[in-house]
């Protein structure tokens, strides 16, 4: 352990470039002392390689408590791919099941969460950036699409809560996203800055609702979208009004708040400027995913240590996770889930 173990980390989650760390990355991560890292498909070749990469990240920072996140939603957003990891259906498949038979859908989502938690814990991953709590909009951008459970806020909240709570019962922290609700997107924020034109009354009666029902989940992520009825000038991720008055006060979410990836093309500005703006606007943690070391150095210079409020939220979140039962074996759950999903192929686990 280095002296970093006694130093509160920077409020950032970084990505890395490949399947192993290079010398430059090791130096940047050692100096930055980030809260954690996020893995992408480019980082995940096979189970042994992922476990070794996570060990390298821990050693580079000099802390064994760094958090390792991933976007393993199922469907299109799955960083762990066959043949080494199972292939799971998108959220919308579980929503359709629940809409046809709530008991069927609820059993399936809990089995899925248990089996997935097992896969993640085996690798050393601690945070899964799921569930998506945005409402399904068949006329919206495919950037959300079948990543959402349902058009019905109650269905979304029921399935998202079951997933999130099962994750926490099995060693994984969930992240509800994308606050305050951007199912109304018609363009992709990875490419351009979207504007959502619904009135505040419409947003409160629809998009905010599932997040209000999940306000006790300890981690959340906001969005790079302008909500014209709330703040005409700033996307939610950079809006103090949306983060404080809407997400914190109106919705009631008091968990650890992450920005979405600040390298998305929806945002304009240098990474250092954007990181500072995001923290000043009320984010607890800034997400930077590109793996660009010069950008990460700039971000590290632009932000201080995690604030007292952010640190308290993190301690609360960490306390809500129950370590996974070491004797748990997922075979029976996986077989039952396969039956419930109609015989969909899962591939081989690594």
Positions annotated as catalytic residues are 190, 260
Say what the alpha-carbon torsion angle 120, 121, 123, 126 is, to the nearest 10 degrees.
80
DSSP state of 140: S
- Look at the block and give the residue holding tokens 């994750």: 167
Cβ within 8 Å of residue 339, ≥6 positions away = none
Rounded CA-CA distance 301/161 in Å is: 37
Distances in Å between the alpha carbon of 14 and those of 34, 62, 219, 318, 322? Answer: 7, 15, 17, 19, 25
**β-pair partners for 38:** 69
23-32 and 293-302 helices, crossing angle to 10°: 10
Which structure tokens are listed for 267? 């945002």
Closest CA to 144 of 104, 194, 105: 194
Closest CA to 4 of 324, 350, 305, 307: 305
CB distance 85 to 349 below 8 Å = yes
Q: Which helix (H) or strand (E) holds 177?
A: strand 176-179
């Amino acid at each position: 352990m280095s002296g970093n173990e006694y130093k509160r980390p920077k409020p950032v989650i970084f990505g890395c470039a490949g399947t192993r760390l290079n010398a430059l990355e090791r130096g940047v991560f050692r100096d930055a002392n980030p809260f954690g890292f996020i893995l992408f498909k480019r980082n995940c070749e096979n189970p042994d390689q992922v476990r070794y990469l996570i060990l390298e990240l821990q050693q580079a920072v000099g802390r064994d408590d760094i958090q390792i996140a991933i976007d393993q939603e199922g469907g299109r957003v799955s960083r762990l791919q066959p043949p080494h990891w199972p292939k799971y259906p998108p959220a919308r498949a579980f929503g359709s099941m629940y809409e046809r038979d709530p008991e069927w859908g609820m059993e399936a989502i809990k089995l899925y969460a248990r089996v997935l938690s097992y896969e993640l814990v085996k690798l050393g991953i601690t945070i899964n950036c799921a569930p998506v709590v945005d409402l399904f909009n068949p006329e919206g951008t495919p950037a959300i699409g079948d990543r959402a459970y349902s058009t019905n806020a109650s269905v979304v909240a029921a399935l998202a809560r079951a997933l999130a709570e099962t994750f926490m019962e099995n060693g994984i922290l969930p992240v509800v996203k994308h606050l305050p609700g951007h199912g109304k997107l018609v363009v992709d924020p990875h490419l351009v800055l979207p504007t959502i034109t619904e009135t505040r009354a419409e947003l409160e009666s629809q998009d905010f609702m599932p997040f209000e029902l999940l306000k006790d989940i300890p981690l959340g992520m906001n969005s790079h979208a302008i909500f014209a009825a709330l703040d005409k000038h700033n996307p939610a991720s950079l809006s103090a009004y949306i983060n404080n008055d809407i997400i914190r006060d109106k919705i009631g979410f008091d968990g650890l708040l992450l920005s979405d990836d600040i390298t998305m093309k929806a945002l304009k500005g240098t990474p250092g400027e954007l990181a500072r703006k995001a923290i000043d606007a009320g984010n607890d943690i800034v997400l930077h995913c590109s793996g660009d070391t010069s950008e990460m150095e700039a971000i590290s210079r632009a932000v201080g240590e995690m604030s007292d409020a952010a640190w308290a939220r993190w301690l609360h979140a960490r306390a809500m996770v129950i370590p996974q039962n070491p004797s748990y074996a997922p075979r029976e759950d996986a077989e039952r889930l396969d039956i419930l999903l109609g015989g969909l192929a899962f591939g081989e686990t690594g």
